[in-house]
A and B are shown apart, each in its own frame.
Chain A
Amino acid sequence: MSEKLLVLDNIRMSFGAIEALKGISFSIGKGEVVALLGDNGAGKSTLVKIISGGQKATSGRMIFEGQEYQANTPAEAKAAGIETVYQDLSLCTNVDVVGNFFMGREITRKIAGIPFLDERAMEEITGKALANAGTRIPSLRGKVEHLSGGQRQAIELNRFVHWGGKLILLDEPFAALGVEQTRRGLEMIRHVANQGIGVVIITHIMQQAFQVADRIVVIRQGVVAGDVECSKTNADAVIGMITGQTLAGAGAASN
């Protein structure tokens, strides 16, 4: 198996009396695509937020590139090389496309020591990145509030491809995308993984998981209910794990 990029060790998360995660342990290798599956409310998004610095786990350990890792803010996770596309869209609709593409990492030019936005450079890069992904957006200078759900998701998706990093977390990234955009999105994921970047993708569509993932991890009611290589399982077995018909732990991956 490929070199470990991120190891999750007994991650627990409680919201008051609700225990959303009850000791999650699995790992992601470099250049590996892991599909994270599970029913609504299983705890997938919560896990993503813990890795990406949005929430702090109640207990547990994470090892990233061989070192103890904990992100207190998304900024720290980004600095470590972890990019995230969240389930609920994370765009500022009151700002234009270019502004959103570069949110938090604007290109600047210093004049008298003061950083000024380099709008032209940012617009050029945004235009290229979106064109490469085949996303058509009427105006890069138009506010995002005028865009369709799919166009918005495309911006987020292309953001991560552009910025790269070491590990990418995608929380239902294709939910609003059309057929062609989804196909390109899946291609993009393979392309990114081939560069040695680890990818975790959450989806409810079994077909997508099998199409793109190397491994499938199933979370059920806050515990890992399955961790199998794609080539060694099939959709029916995975559905069984998701719904709980297969015994927990059945088909666990060999480490």
Chain B
Amino acid sequence: MSPRTRKILEFLLNNLVWLMLVVVLALFSALIPNYFQLGIFANIIEASSVLGVMSIGLAIVIITGHMDLSVESVAALSAMAVSILFCSAGIGLGYKLSPEWLMVPVSLAVACAIGALIGFLNGVLVVKLKMSAFIITLASFIWVRGLVLAVSGGRSAQDLAPAIRWFAVERLFGIPLSAWIAIACFLIFSIMMTKTPFGRHLIMIGGNETAAFRAGIPVKRNLIIAFIMAGAIAGLAGWLLSVRTSGATANLGVGLLFNAFAAVVIGGVSLKGGVGALPGVYAGVLLLSAINTAINLMGLPATYTQVIHGLLVLAAVLLDTFKQRLHQRLA
């Protein structure tokens, strides 16, 4: 194979998700009545904001060669905490701050701090005690969700303070601010991963941890920071979730983990670590969101969504394996 064909093939492989997104959107627009409207595209972007933010944290941890299954529960706990503090109905305590806008940074700080704390715990257990990230974060996935149930008593909080709700209502170019937050996160963390030494080091750790350690990179510290980041980002996703739904229920966000997982893998992040970029993950998120919208429009019962998502995860992992094999042959 000539180097040129190899390059083109690799380029296609690495950007497969964008191609898929375009094809899927074109296909749906052609086949499903009412799909092709600007409003629907805005809707796809809007619906993908929570999932998008959550996928960023998950992707970062997977790129460093680890795993964080706790992001969904962490998001739920953060959403519940924000909702209990700033909702006025249900179990909400309805705290008011003056001036009102102060509630925005305070609620954000609460959401991210909860996430960061759980991320820190995950990171320390995985990195210092050398336990499997899969098991540790699976445990967190369970106990954090349990905590959500415990603090809420299974009940819900509604009517989030309007000052915070504002982010889901106010629009810029037809897209709500909450979705812009997701887009901004993708931009910021993409730059972090590709343009700063810290991001470069995370990619190196994912590729060859021993080599990174020998090169003097503080591997353990960086890994713990990656877990803290994933937690804090999941906290932000939870904040967005409560903003979008104007409150929180005990089973808020159930199933998001698998969508995030699918988006990350479809987006070109390899489960073996060291490979992948965040823009691709965003495309993966949009792809899932586009498919969901299509399912809604076609009026399929919601139960099918789960079947389709399951198949998508399967397809994504198959694709990952296939790509790894192809890469090996190309190398």
Contact = CB atoms under 8 A, between A and B. Distances in A.
A146 B327 CA distance: 10
Contacts of A232: none
Contacts of B214: 52, 54, 74, 84, 86, 90
B195 A116 contact: yes
A104 B212 contact: yes
Interface residues of A, number: 29
A89 B206 CA distance: 16
A151 B320 CA distance: 28
Contacts of B207: 92-95
A28 to B, nearest CB: 20
A252 interface: no
A99 B195 CA distance: 11
A91 B211 contact: yes
A117 interface: yes
B216 interface: yes
A74 B219 CA distance: 11
Interface in A105-155: 105-106, 108, 114-117, 138, 145-146
Interface in B169-218: 195-197, 200-201, 203-204, 206-208, 210-218
Contacts of B331: 145-146
A106 B208 contact: no
Contact of A103 (B217, B275, B327): B217
Nearest to A146: B331
B226 to A, nearest CB: 16
Nearest to A84: B214
B204 A73 contact: no
A104 B215 contact: yes
Contact of B208 (A75, A91, A117): A91
A122 to B, nearest CB: 11
A192 to B, nearest CB: 19
A93 B213 contact: no
A102 to B, nearest CB: 9
Contact of A117 (B197, B204, B211, B212): B197
Contact of A95 (B3, B195, B204, B327): B204
B2 to A, nearest CB: 13
B74 to A, nearest CB: 26
Q: Which of B203, B208, B218 has the most CB of A within 10 A?
A: B208
Interface string B1-40: 0010000000000000000000000000000000000000
A92 B209 CA distance: 8
A69 B214 CA distance: 18
A104 B217 contact: yes
B275 A78 contact: no
A84 B213 CA distance: 12
A145 B195 CA distance: 21
A204 B106 CA distance: 65
A115 B199 CA distance: 11
Q: Which of A52, A78, A84, A116 has the most CB of B within 10 A?
A: A116
B13 to A, nearest CB: 13
A52 B215 CA distance: 11
Q: Which of B203, B214, B331 has the most CB of A within 10 A?
A: B214
B268 interface: no
B123 interface: no
Contacts of B204: 92, 94-95, 99, 103
A91 B210 CA distance: 9
B244 to A, nearest CB: 31
B115 interface: no
Contact of B274 (A92, A106, A146): A92
A94 B200 contact: no
A74 B218 CA distance: 9
16 contacts: A73-B213, A73-B216, A90-B211, A92-B207, A92-B274, A94-B204, A94-B208, A94-B275, A95-B204, A104-B215, A104-B217, A105-B215, A106-B197, A115-B196, A115-B197, A117-B195
Given A92-B204, A94-B275, 11 more contacts: A73-B216, A75-B217, A78-B216, A90-B210, A92-B203, A92-B208, A93-B207, A104-B215, A104-B217, A106-B197, A145-B327
Q: Ordered nearest first, which 10 A-B pairs have the shortest CB separation? A: A94-B207, A104-B215, A75-B216, A94-B274, A92-B207, A103-B215, A90-B211, A104-B216, A92-B204, A106-B197
Interface of B: 3, 195-197, 200-201, 203-204, 206-208, 210-218, 274-275, 327, 331
